[in-house]
Every structure is written in C-alpha cells, then in structure tokens.
C-alpha cells in the first residue's frame, strides 16, 4: 500500500480489503474453538458462493 501513488486506487483496495477482512475475522479469542470453526466454515462457504 505504501507504493500506491493513486489515492482512488488505494481507497478502492482498502474498501475491498476491509469487507473481506470483516467477513473472515471472527475474534477467535472471544469464542470457543468449535463455535469459531463453525463460523469460519459458514463464512468460507458464503465466500465460495459469492466468488463462483
């Protein structure tokens, strides 16, 4: 990101990155492992459906 000279491109990247990061970031330290894994599997399945 530091090499980006175009602010518009950087904003577009940051927007896409934030939406993907928020989709997968589940705050693992707040959940039990089995719930974390279940939520992660659901997020991955949804992502695969959107990306297909």
Determine the pLDDT at residue 23: 66
* Cα–Cα distance measured from residue 40 to residue 43, given in angstroms and rounded to the nearest whole number: 5
Q: What is the pLDDT of residues 1-52, one digit of tens each?
A: 566 678 888 888 888 888 777 767 767 677 788 888 888 888 889 888 988 7
Determine the pLDDT at residue 2: 60
7-to-30, 33, 44 alpha-carbon distances in Å: 35, 39, 30
* Cα–Cα distance measured from residue 44 to residue 20, given in angstroms and rounded to the nearest whole number: 11
Determine the pLDDT at residue 31: 73
Q: Cβ(10)–Cβ(1) under 8 Å?
A: yes
């Amino acid at each position: 990101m530091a090499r980006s000279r175009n602010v518009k491109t950087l904003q577009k990247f940051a927007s896409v990155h934030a939406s993907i990061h928020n989709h997968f970031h589940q705050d693992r330290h707040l959940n039990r492992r089995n719930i974390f894994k279940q939520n992660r599997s659901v997020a991955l399945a949804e992502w695969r459906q959107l990306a297909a």
